Amino acid sequence: MTSEYILRIVDLHKNFGDREVLHGISFNVKKGETIVFIGPSGTGKSTLLRCINQLTEPDKGHVFIDDDEVTGCGYRISEYRQRIGMVFQNFNLFDHLTAVQNVEIAPIRVRKMKPAEARKKAMEELRRVGMQDWADHYPSELSGGQAQRVSIARSLAMDPEVILFDEPTSALDPELTREVLEVMKDLARSGMTMLVVTHEMGFARSVATEVVFMEGGQIVEQGPPAEIMKNPKHPRTREFIGKIAEH
């Protein structure tokens, strides 16, 4: 049986010490959907993304990708992580590798792809994010926006089924934010399944299939972007939307 969902999150709980950070989160994602997560700081958005690829181990609950259970899979976790890309707020490019080496390293080491083939694929992914001319530059020689585009290419090179973005533009100024969001919009339109933590409501409006408002480790409200933004049902959502709209 294959379900219609590419990703299913069932009742995730996570505590840090006696602090409950995720308080029973459940949702489903269909192939090609772009889900935007918003919510106040410290609400557990990063923790949620990290629990999906088990960089943080949830205390309770399940994550399924294509009906394969990711939670509790033990040492096989690295196989599942190949199918779940991740893009970080501060890029985390590998400092000792050039842009193209950053993109090809995982296909070579993890997928055992031939170096020549991996290089070709890496160049294609760099082209996809408009960074082909910067292939031989080191991370320190790139602007934040360029670095983030390379890190998106690095994720894409593993052909993931889903990509998780944790505030991919919040370290960038508006100009650079725009160039990264353009790449992400293209990705969304090309059918990539994406979970994005961001407060860029313009992005949400143009490509999100759903916006999820989280607070206190719970999903308070979720729905199509237009509805959440114009007509939020929950007063907390309304307040929060009002606050981020001011910027």
Ligand X SMILES: Nc1ncnc2c1ncn2[C@@H]1O[C@H](COP(=O)(O)OP(=O)(O)OP(=O)(O)O)[C@@H](O)[C@H]1O
Q: Which does 141 bind (CB under 5 to 8 A by kind): another protein, Mg ion, ligand X, none?
A: another protein
Reported as half-sphere exposure (CB side, CA atoms, 13 A), residue 125 has a value of 25
Q: Does 46 bind Mg ion (CB under 5 A)?
A: yes
Strand runs labelled E in the chain: 5-16, 19-30, 34-38, 60-65, 68-69, 84-87, 162-166, 193-197, 210-215, 218-223
Q: Does 177 bind Mg ion (CB under 5 A)?
A: no
- For residue 58, the tally of other CB atoms under 10 A from its CB is 24
Q: Which does 81 bind (CB under 5 to 8 A by kind): Mg ion, another protein, ligand X, none?
A: another protein
CB of 214 to ligand X, least distance (A): 7
Q: Which does 21 bind (CB under 5 to 8 A by kind): another protein, Mg ion, ligand X, none?
A: ligand X
CB of 197 to Mg ion, least distance (A): 6
Nearer to Mg ion, 46 or 146 (CB): 46
103 CB burial (10 A radius; 0-12, 13-18, 19+): buried
CB of 242 to ligand X, least distance (A): 17
68, 56 Cβ separation under 8 angstroms: no
Q: Which does 95 bind (CB under 5 to 8 A by kind): ligand X, another protein, Mg ion, none?
A: another protein
222, 212 Cβ separation under 8 angstroms: yes
Binding site for another protein (CB under 8 A): 53, 55, 75, 78-79, 81-82, 84-86, 88, 90, 92-96, 105-106, 109-110, 138-141, 151, 154-155, 158
Q: Which does 203 bind (CB under 5 to 8 A by kind): ligand X, another protein, Mg ion, none?
A: none
Q: Are strands 210-215 and 218-223 parallel, antiparallel or unpaired?
A: antiparallel
